[in-house]
Amino acid sequence: MRKTCIAACLLTASAGLMAQDHEAGFHLYSPDVETDGEIDASFEYNGFGCAGDNQSPTLRWDNAPAGTRSFAISVHDPDAPTGSGWWHWRVVNLPADTTELTGNAGAIDGANLPDGAVQLRNDYGDKGWGGMCPPAGDSPHRYTFTVHALNTEQLELPEDASPALAGFMIHQHEIARAGFMATYAREED
């Protein structure tokens, strides 16, 4: 019960921070994924028993704070049955003038990202978008989409950086964040 409370409290605090950032003007949204809505099956992973298109949605943001020198993107499922959630996407070193990632920007080859941007390993072990794939029959999982405004142009990370190491470095340089949450579930087979 204590772990559940801690996780719920952290998520509530995180949602509160995102709400504060939104009120301050920094805002992340997607024309493909409605805030607090259900994510379309086309964004589902293709593997692990899932059969989606495994393409990342379009993400847009505006009103980044003064002093932003680059951005990072993260997509996380806190409900994955791992004890630590599941990292679906991490992108760092997005130039400060970036305000959008178009659909399928998370392609494994990175060809749809701005110059200089780097995709890090997700929890599937790939460097790119890893779509939703909760266990069939689970209650809907929550997916947190976040853009981080950073005070550095480039995060120095090893090529094989884990999601946790990337998170540490992102948070060391974060000056603001904005985000939204949406849900996804798979029916039992």
What gap in Å lies between CA 45 and CA 49, rounded to an integer? 9
Bridge-based pairing of strands 27-29 and 118-119 is unpaired
Assign a CATH topology to domain 2-184. Phosphatidylethanolamine-binding Protein (3.90.280)
Query: CB atoms < 10 A from the CB of 21, how many?
Result: 21
124-153 tens-digit pLDDT: 999 999 999 999 999 999 999 999 999 999
Token representation of residue 96: 């400060």
Domain limits of the chain? 2-184
Q: What is the pTM of this model?
A: 0.86
Residue 23: its H or E element: helix 2-24
What gap in Å lies between CA 95 and CA 104, rounded to an integer? 18
**Are the CB atoms for 89 and 73 separated by under 8 Å?**
yes
Residue-level pLDDT at 189? 65
Q: What is the percentage of the chain residues whose pLDDT exceeds 90? A: 82
